[in-house]
Structures are given as structure tokens and as C-alpha cells.
Amino acid sequence: MSDTVVLTETQSATEVPKGPLSFVNLASLRRYASPVFLVCCWQAACSSGFLSTRLVSSPAQIAVTGWALTRDGTLPYNLGVSLLRAASGLGLALTLGVLLALISGLSKAGEDIVDAPLQILRTLPALALVPLFILWFGIGETPKILLVALGAIFPIYLNLHSGIRSIDPKLLEMGSTLGLSRWQTIRDIFLPGALPDFLTGLRYAVGVSWMMLVVAEQVNAESGIGHMMMDAQDFMRTDIILVGLLVYGVLGLLSDQIIRFLEAIFLAWRPSNEKKRTT
Amino acid sequence: MTALKAAPQDAAVSIQQLTKRFDGGSPVLDRLNLAIAPGEFVALLGHSGSGKSTLLRTLAGLDPVTEGIVTRPQRVSVVFQESRLLPWKKVWKNIVLGQEDAGTRQRAEVVLEEVGLSHRTNAWPATLSGGEAQRAALARALVREPAFLMLDEPFAALDALTRLKMQQLVADLWKKHGCAVFLVTHDVDEALLLADRAVVLEQGQIRVDLPIPLSRPRKHSDGDLEALRTTLLNALGVHGA
């Protein structure tokens, strides 16, 4: 036997399978097969009485409940309330976070004034402020929106700030030899250069927003997905609780997809994105 | 008197008694004098640490003039060893960076054609090869129609074949634009191929100032270059090469 190995087309790992379309479909179907199988097992365990429906509802029951909650308007209403809170909080965090990061990223004096207090605040677990927020702002919309904003502001600030600070000084020198004004330097070099870090921060911030919202709505609220779930707890309606979980999951997934979409549009210049588009 | 002055349009570059030291140590540039005539091509040679980069950075206005007088034209451009293109702007937008009047696109196309890069006008910089990126950097320097062009080891990172092509391109562009050129290099052959005059920097002073009175276009194989090459290599402390 010789030591040489002939790499044929099928052995090459980088080669994209060129088989018939059904083969590709089969491969992608396989990814979904295992979760579907697990749900089937879950359903079987509930139907056979092996799993008590007092502890966890069956998938079929969750679907029925989800549909009923949608029909009578409970789910859309609470979802709307939750979305509005998340959006307001995230919007507030974006505005403040971007503003503070620009101040501290673009001037040394700004960094001295802004960065230190934010770095100190960052170490506090935001959720530990819930009792204080309730005392200060009551149980209306304000503490919930502020909690979301408080959680989301740090990833935005920290990432944008480090993005601005890590701009290649050689590019700044080049800009200076071209005679760019301060404003042109910010617009053409600092901001686009910090965008990848900013989007990474935004992705974290969105994730944190949902988490803060869950807690804010479960501690004290009269509406929202979290409140719907806490209400269901009193009546031992595990099906409603699971519908709420499902909604949170879908929201998280969707917001992540939106950020990915933004990255594909705004970071088209990155070599990794270029490759993705051509293959 | 200490100053970096902007000379009237198309005036020569003149450096008088330029001294630079870092943290009060021994001077990197020591009472250096150098003049470059309008349209003249001067190559600066020297070992690492001889002060080449410091001199260029001072001329480019990146480092301040602390002792001595430096006069240079208003319109200057710099090409660095790395292309320093903004990765988030298409090639043509990089070329006209900072120019905001109408007709930027057209100007970019003209100059990209000149450097042989018109097929990459709309490309992202990350997709350019090393040679293409340096062509784009040259285009960005030329679009400003500089009276004085500074080249800081612009081909040092390129492979040998690409470097030869780029040297040819620079020779052609210089002939066409007629700007004064200051080429910092450690490649003796490159200096001999392109420059009117080669100066050797050593311990912060011009050690050798050698005119290269050869007709153009020049080839690396020209016999006349041999004597000059030996002189320059000797000045750089390389004997018998």
C-alpha cells in the first residue's frame, strides 16, 4: 500500500455537496428531526399519563391554549405591552449609551468624566436594583422601562466605547495627511470603524432587555407576558406558562435575526461577509 | 525659529537645521539640511533607526517641528507602506475621501484608470491584492494633485514581481504629473531606478548626497548603475556586495 492519498471530490471537506436537490433537503431536515422527535416523546408521555399535566402541559394542549389566548385577545394585548416596554427601554439605552460612548470615546476629558462612574455602576447586578426602583418609581411603566434601559445600556456603551478606542491609529494618521476635518474624521473613520463592535453590543443589549423585562413583569405588573405567566401560576395553568415561555423564545430568536440582518447590510465590507455572499 | 511652513504653490521643499530628539535623548535628526527642487525625485536611504521615518513624518506634518525650519508646498500627499484604505468604503470612495464637491466619482475614475485599477472601482478594499491596494493608495495620493508626494517604503511589503511593476508605474506617473517626490526606501536598486538624487541618512544627518545623472527609462541591468550602486552600498556600510 502506498502512503499517498488521492483527494477526490467527495473527500474534500470544503466541497459543497453537488448531489440532487433532495439530498440537500434531507440533510437540512435531519437538523429538525431530533427536536420534533423530542416533542413527540413529550406528547406521548403526557397522553399516556406518565407525565402529570399538573406539572407540565402536553404540546397539543399548549397549542390549543396558545390559539385560544390569541383568539380572545389576551396574548396579543400582553405581547403588545411587553414589546412596547422592551422597545422603550432599549430605545432609551441606545440613545444614552451611544451618547455617553461618543463623549468618552472621542475626548480624553470626556473619558475621565464619563467612564469611571459607568465602570463602577457596571459591576452592580442590575436586578438587585428592583426593590429600589419600586420604591422610587412605584409599580407603573416607569420602573419597568428603566430596568430594561439599565440592563441594556452597558453592553451598548462598553462595546461602542472600545470600538472607538480601538480604531487603527494608522488610519487616523492617513486621515490627517489627507486634511480631514474633525467632523469628517468622526463620520468617515470613527463611526464606521466602531460599527462592528456597536452591533455586537446591540445584540447583547437586546438579549439583556428581554431578561430584564421578564423579571420586571413578574415582580409587579398588571399586564405583559410576564404578568400573564405569573397569573397562570396562581391557577396552576402550566399550559399558559409554557405559551409565555414559547413567546419569549420566539422573541429572542427574532431579535437576534434582526441584528444579523443589520450586520449583513452594514458590514458587507468585511471579508467574512463577502465570502458568505459569493458562495 | 521653529516652524513647519507652507511654502507658496509649487515652491521647493526646504529643510534647515532640523533637529529632533525623543525625551531629551541623543538626537534622531541632528541639524539636518535638505532641499528638494520642484519636480525633483529624491530617494532617501538609510538603516533602520537612522531617522528616515522621523524625517518623513515631520515632512508629512504628523510630527511637529520642534527645532529648525521646514518649508513645503501646500498640496502634499503621502503613500505609506500599508495602503491604509478604509475597509468600509468602496475603492473609489477611498480615493476621494474628504473631497465633498460634485464630480468626485468622475475624478476617482480618471485616476484609477491612470494606476490601472479601473476594474476595481466598486470593490471593497479587503478584496484587493497587496499590489492593487498600493495602486489605490497611489491613486488617492495623486487625485489631490500634490506638488510634493511622499512615499514611505511603499513597495516594501510587495512581492518582487509586483514591486517591479509598481516601480515602473511610479516612474510613469511621476513623468506625467511632474510633482516633487520624496521616496523613503531601503532598496538601493529602487532608488537608482527612480530617483534624480539619492541621499543617505546616517545618525540624523545626510551622509551622502549622490546625483544619479542617468537617462530614463532605466533598467536594473544598466551597466552605468553599477558604479553608483557600489557607492551607495559603501555609504550604507555594505562592502563587496
Q: Which of A270, A217, A277 is nearest to A244 (CA)?
A: A217
Q: What is the mean pLDDT of residues A146-158?
A: 94
- Given this model, what pLDDT does residue A32 score? 84
Query: Which residues from chain B sit within 8 angstroms of residue A270, using beta carbons?
Result: 87, 126
Domain spans in chain B, listed from the N-terminal domain onward? 2-235
- Given this model, what pLDDT does residue A126 score? 83
Query: What is the distance between the alpha carbons of residues B23 and A142, in angstroms, rounded to a whole number?
Result: 56
Query: What is the distance between the alpha carbons of residues A255 and A261, in angstroms, rounded to a whole number?
Result: 10
Contact B44, B185 (CB under 8 A): yes
A28, pLDDT greater than 80: no
Class of domain A61-272: mainly alpha
Query: Which residues from chain B sit within 8 angstroms of residue A178, using beta carbons?
Result: 77, 97-98, 140, 144
Amino acid at A3: D
- Given this model, what pLDDT does residue B3 score? 66
Domain spans in chain A, listed from the N-terminal domain onward? 61-272
* B32-49 residue pLDDT tens: 999 999 999 999 998 888
Q: Which residue of chain A has the CA closest to B95? A: A178
As to burial, measured by CB atoms within 10 angstroms (0-12 exposed, 13-18 middle, 19+ buried), residue A131 is: exposed
Query: What is the distance between the alpha carbons of residues A268 and A261, in angstroms, rounded to a whole number?
Result: 11
Query: What is the distance between the alpha carbons of residues B192 and B204, in angstroms, rounded to a whole number?
Result: 22
For B87, the closest of A179, A180, A269 (CB atoms) is: A269
Q: What is the mean pLDDT of residues A16-33?
A: 67
Q: Which of B70, B37, B59, B56 is nearest to B179 (CA)?
A: B37
Q: How confident is the model at residue B11 (pLDDT cuts 50, 70, 90)?
A: low
Q: How confident is the model at residue A97 (pLDDT cuts 50, 70, 90)?
A: very high
**Check whether domain B2-235 has CATH 3.40.50.300, yes or no:** yes
A15, pLDDT greater than 50: no
Amino acid at B204: G
The answer to pTM > 0.95 is no
Average model confidence (pLDDT) across chain A:
87
Query: What is the distance between the alpha carbons of residues B193 and B218, in angstroms, rounded to a whole number?
Result: 6
- Given this model, what pLDDT does residue A124 score? 87
Query: Which residues from chain A sit within 8 angstroms of residue B124, using beta carbons?
Result: 268-269, 274
Higher pLDDT, B131 or A12: B131
When scoring B58, B86, B94 by the number of chain A Cβ atoms within 10 A, the one with the most, hence best to mutate, is: B86
Q: A37-51, A90-104, A178-192: which has the minimum mean pLDDT?
A: A37-51
* A182-197 residue pLDDT tens: 999 999 999 999 999 9
**Beta sheet of B76-79, edge-to-edge order:** B76-79, B148-152, B180-184, B41-46, B197-202, B205-211
- C-beta atoms of B97 and A175 within 8 A: yes
Residue written as cell 485616476? B111
Q: What is the mean pLDDT of residues B87-108?
A: 93
- Given this model, what pLDDT does residue A2 score? 53
CA distances from B240 to A106, A140, B9, B48, B232 (A): 54, 87, 44, 21, 12
